[in-house]
Amino acid sequence: MGIAGLIEDAENVQSLVSSMTKKKGGFRACIFVLALITLENIGFVANMSSLVLYFHFVMQFGLSASANTLTNFLGSTFLLTIFGGFISDTYLNRLYTCLSFGILEVLGLLLLFVQADSNKLQPDPCDKSSCVRGGKAVMLYCTIFLLAVGAGGVKGSVAALGADQFDQKDEKEAKALASYFNSYQFSVTIGSIIGVTIVVWVAMNKGWHWGFLISLITTSIGMVVLALGKPFYRLPSQSTSPLVKISQVIVAAIRNRNVPLPENPSELYETDDKDAISHTSQFRLLDKAASVRGGRAASVREERAPDPWKVCTVTQVEEVKILIRMLPIILSTIIMNTCMAQLQTYSVLQGYFMNTHLGSFKVPSASIPVIPLIFMSLLLPVYEFYFVPLARKITGHPTGITQLQRVGIGLVLAIISMAIAGVVEIKRRHKAIEDPLHPISLFWLSFQYGVFGVADMFTVIGLMEFFYREAPKWMRSLSTSFALLSLSLGYFLSTAFVNLVNTVTKKVTPSKQGWLEAPDLNHNKLELFYWFLAILSLLNFANYLFWASWYKYKSTAQDAGTHGRVGRGSSAVAAED
């Protein structure tokens, strides 16, 4: 067989592989992923909304201890999404990572159901901030550990599993990727609505164990559905560990620290890869990693690939630069998530002491988050089918507005939500003290929840899409976890702020009692805490504007002609990705 025949056979094989790949993926495969997201969030979000009450009234934690236990649990869960993302990028594919960690989440829900079902496994009331001791404490914290690890691993890989079903090199599929992230948020919203209404009502009216049982069943079904979709998924192969890739650039830059940088960036080492990332002028010290001794970059290209611990490609160096540029963006969204933590803790406790009746029906206070969820379920289709096409015509951007512009809108709305929350708390406390038998309606909380729900719609998905699009291929699961890492740090910061505010205000107030220390919510200064967060959020927004304007979107060799100005370092506020 001649060379021409070999070439023809190779082309036929490549065409066959490409055809088989095209038959997989797309929204058909995403149906299974979105089903899991919906079913898993029914239980997870129901627990996010109601566990603070479970800790306070069943496990006998004090008010601050209940809030801090929940925020520590949620902070740990979202922090562990980084671990799940790392595993799915390096060792297991995203599907097997989801299923493996899903088993742990199911086991945690099973233990939660068992403890809630048996009075013998619950502590007796006491006068301390925490009454749970001995074997009961061991069981509770083992449950929390399994739930945090399991849910964290699932959330750290499932978003990227769905996004992998779209090829960014294909124009139609690249546009569909943005629609996928909106569908992702819509699925989260639908699952959350079911969770904070039906599941929370069952838990608070029929028994906590029944609510946890529903969560157990829906999560288990979700895992089965996800597994059934295996024949339809595109499952990219694992690559070198992200830590190794980053380390290679740092080590090579140190080794080449005495090598002078060429005046022309094209003299840096790079392969002939159509997906190569264009060079940027930021963090020039890292360019040392792509510097070749004696300026022999051209000859090195013709030889066999050099040792990556001595010389890296421009693309690999730029990928590390991208990760560094992402860090200020992550840090700039932490305060917003600290504000979100208050809506899942103190606002739920506020609702418990308000008039929860809607006519003759008593609404569980933990169900009040359904208001922003309904807003989101209505606004997401409007955003996808009306706002994006209109904005696309005006801006020429494929997604209407850039991901970082979307995040900025969310940050502004979070400031407004906290300001409103403080005003509502003043009204609630004044009425509770003046006429305790006739508290104000629970639905006063809908203002702060509604505004924050819209903020969440813009910010969370904007961040996830931003991190997925910008991140190197070898860490896309890990990168989508960055949005959830911000959520994690926000929850931990909430715990720190509660403790810090109590410590400081206890020393300066005449009553010698911290703003949030009193066992009776009516004797606290919760509105001041809300306004404190609003002021911090305003300062944080100014900080975010600086970093968003400084950020440079990546540009590949393939799209350099179309988006040449991005490769030269256009700002994130105006650039197209």
pLDDT in tens, 265-304: 888 888 877 677 888 888 888 988 888 876 555 555 555 6
Highest mean pLDDT range out of 10-19, 105-114, 175-184, 458-467? 105-114
Examine the pLDDT at 58 and tell me if it is beyond 90: no
- Structure confidence at residue 410 (pLDDT): 92
pLDDT at 149: 94
Of the pLDDT bands very low, low, confident and very high (cuts 50, 70, 90), residue 524 is confident
Rounded average pLDDT over 557-571: 41
Length of the chain as a residue count: 577
Q: What is the pTM of this model?
A: 0.74
Query: Which residue ranges make up each domain of the chain?
Result: 22-238+333-567, 242-320
Q: What is the mean pLDDT of residues 27-56?
A: 90
Which among 38, 25, 31 has a CA at the least distance from the CA of 189?
38
Least confident residue range of 107-111, 416-420, 550-554 = 550-554
Three-state DSSP class for 362? strand
Has residue 34 got a pLDDT over 70?
yes
User: Crossing angle, helix 526-550 and helix 314-332, to 10 degrees?
Assistant: 160
Per the CB < 8 A criterion, the answer to whether 572 and 553 are in contact is yes
Q: 53 versus 423: which is more confidently predicted?
A: 423
Q: Are 577 and 471 in contact (CB under 8 A)?
A: no
Q: What is the pLDDT of residue 112?
A: 94
Q: Is the pLDDT score of 561 beyond 70? A: no
Q: Is the predicted pLDDT of residue 17 greater than 70, yes or no?
A: no
Q: Which residues 6+ apart lie within 8 Å of 4 measured at CB? A: none
Summary mean pLDDT of the chain: 82
What pLDDT does 296 receive?
Answer: 57
pLDDT of 320 above 70: yes
The mean pLDDT value for 419-443 works out to: 89
CATH of span 22-238+333-567? 1.20.1250.20
| Residue bearing the bigger pLDDT, 345 or 6 | 345
Q: What is the C-alpha to C-alpha distance for residues 53 and 326, in angstroms, rounded to an integer?
A: 36
CA-CA distance, 231 to 229, in Å (whole number)? 6
| Tally of helices (H runs) and strands (E runs) in the chain | 21, 2
CA-CA distance, 366 to 446, in Å (whole number)?
12
Is the model more confident about 555 or about 115?
115
Is the separation of the CB atoms in 526 and 516 below 8 Å?
yes
Q: In angstroms, rounded to a whole number, what is the distance separating the alpha carbons of residues 460 and 487?
A: 9
Q: Which of 129-143, 169-183, 408-422, 455-469 has the lowest mean pLDDT?
A: 169-183
Region 65-78 average pLDDT: 86
Report the half-sphere exposure of 98 (CA within 13 A, side-chain side). Answer: 29
Residue 72 clears pLDDT 90, i.e. is over it:
no
C-alpha angle 350-196-349 in degrees, rounded to nearest 5:
15
Contact of 502 with 64, CB cutoff 8 Å: yes
Specify the pLDDT at position 295: 56
What pLDDT score was predicted for residue 297? 53
pLDDT tens, position by position, 96-125: 999 999 999 999 999 999 999 998 998 888
| pLDDT band per the 50, 70, 90 thresholds, residue 8 | low
| Stretch 363-376: mean pLDDT | 78
Is the pLDDT score of 352 beyond 90? no
Q: Do the beta carbons of residue 340 and residue 415 sit within 8 Å?
A: no
Contacting residues for 118 by C-beta, under 8 A, at least 6 apart: none
- Whether the pLDDT of residue 214 is over 80: the answer is yes
Question: What's the average model confidence in pLDDT over 396-415?
Answer: 88
Q: Is pLDDT above 50 for 483?
A: yes
The mean per-residue pLDDT over the stretch 228-237 comes to 89
32 pLDDT more than 90: yes
Residue 221 confidence (pLDDT): 96
Is 202's pLDDT higher than 80? yes
- Hey, which residues does 135 pair with through a beta bridge? none
Window from 18-32, 60-74, 234-248 with minimum mean pLDDT = 18-32
* Structure confidence at residue 22 as a pLDDT band (50, 70, 90): low
Q: Is the pLDDT assigned to residue 489 strictly greater than 80?
A: yes
Q: What backbone phi and psi angles, to 5 degrees, belong to 61?
A: -90, 155
Between these two residues, 24 and 212, which has the higher pLDDT value? 212
pLDDT given at position 552: 81
Query: Contact at 8 Å (CB) between 285 and 261?
Result: no
pLDDT at position 154 is 93
Mean pLDDT, range 192-216, rounded to an integer: 92
Highest-pLDDT range among 193-202, 218-227, 455-464, 511-520? 218-227
